[in-house]
A = this chain, B = another copy of it.
Amino acid sequence: MSPRIVELRTRILKKNDEVARTLRARFADQGTFVVSLVSGPGAGKTELLQRTLEALRGTLRVAALVGDLATENDARRLSASGAPARQIVTGSVCHLEAQMVADALAEWQADRLDLLFIENVGNLVCPASFDLGEDLRVALLSVTDGEDKPLKYPPLFNSADLFVISKVDLSHAVGFDRSAALRALESVRPGATVLEVSARTGAGMDEWLSELRRRQADKRTER
Residues on A lying within 8 angstroms of B by beta carbon are 1, 4-5, 8, 12, 40-43, 68-71, 73, 92-94, 121-126, 142, 144-146, 148-149, 151-155, 167, 170, 173-174
Contact = CB atoms under 8 A, between A and B. Distances in A.
Nearest to A167: B144
- Work out how many copies of this chain go into the complex: 2
A83 B162 CA distance: 39
A45 to B, nearest CB: 10
A183 to B, nearest CB: 13
Nearest to A174: B170
Contact of A170 (B41, B146, B153, B170): B170
Contacts of A122: 40, 124, 152
A206 to B, nearest CB: 23
Nearest to A172: B173
A153 B41 CA distance: 10
Contact of A152 (B73, B142, B154): B73
A71 B152 contact: yes
Given A8-B8, A73-B148, 13 more contacts: A40-B40, A41-B145, A41-B152, A42-B142, A42-B144, A69-B153, A70-B153, A92-B155, A123-B123, A144-B144, A144-B174, A170-B170, A173-B173
